[in-house]
Amino acid sequence: MGIGHVAVALGASRAAPRLNVGWLVFAALLADFLLGIFAFFGLEHATVPVDYASRHYLLFDVPYSHGLLALLTWSLIFGFLASRSVGLEARRIWLVVGLVVLSHFLLDGLVHVAGLPLIGKTSPKLGLGLWNHMPLELALETAMAIVGIAVYWKLAGSSSVSRYGMSIFVLLFTAMTWSQLLVTTPPKAQQLNVSWMVAPVVLSAIACGLDRQRERGVLVGGRVSKP
């Protein structure tokens, strides 16, 4: 899942308006960032199905980055780190960021075919396989993106850089997510490792920059509409 994760982050911004959205975007993509690290050390990996050209997706073995127990642990740690970044409402921010990290399990569990483990490598797996119906899956992500940007649009109030910038960002990332329908050649393992690590950092940095104007408005108070 691509833009769907970012959509959750944008929607969650309503519950933690003092926090820069960059934190939430990184939280939503944390599992993929960790997958890049674990894959680099050979602890997790993706395999290419023989009919990749028609399926357009990979099969994953990702117990430490995407397992339910693992993500619960990562959500506690990352939520804590994010809560320290903002002096006020630390508990609320810990909770919101932690839930956004955990949302990755539900969303990926909806689409993954091989499934995500609940506890460890050999435990039962959740995978509803929506990737087998790719256009439907992409339509769902697009609907999520629309809701996410609508929530953010309202939250950003008169911060036009944040409003329009984030809308363009979401539009471009939605188009990128759809582009996987056109991909028929599987990516190389090394490319995947790098993109899993780099993409969450770059996307959250862009979101962070675009959200600055709205965030400043909230912190000084009054200029930006509150939820």
141: contact with Zn ion by CB under 5 A: no
CB nearer to Zn ion: give 1 or 207: 1
Span near Zn ion by CB under 5 A; candidates 50-58, 102-110, 161-169, 192-200: 102-110
32: contact with Zn ion by CB under 5 A: yes
44: contact with Zn ion by CB under 5 A: no
Q: How far is the CB of 142 from Zn ion (least distance, A)?
A: 18
DSSP string over the chain: --HHHHHHHHHHTTT-TTS-HHHHHHHHHHHHHHHHHHHHTTSSEEE--TTHHHH---EEE-HHHHSHHHHHHHHHHHHHHHHHHSSS-HHHHHHHHHHHHHHHHHHHHHH-SS-EESSSTTS-EE---GGGGHHHHHHHHHHHHHHHHHHHHHHHTT-HHHHHHHHHHHHHHHHHHHGGGT--SPPPHHHHHHHHHHHHHHHHHHHHHHHHHHHHHHHH-SSS---
Q: Binders of Zn ion: how many residues, by CB under 5 A?
A: 3
Span near Zn ion by CB under 5 A; candidates 40-48, 70-78, 101-109, 211-219: 101-109
CB nearer to Zn ion: give 29 or 218: 29
CB nearer to Zn ion: give 127 or 148: 127
CB nearer to Zn ion: give 34 or 155: 34
CB nearer to Zn ion: give 108 or 141: 108
Contact footprint for Zn ion (CB under 5 A): 31-32, 108
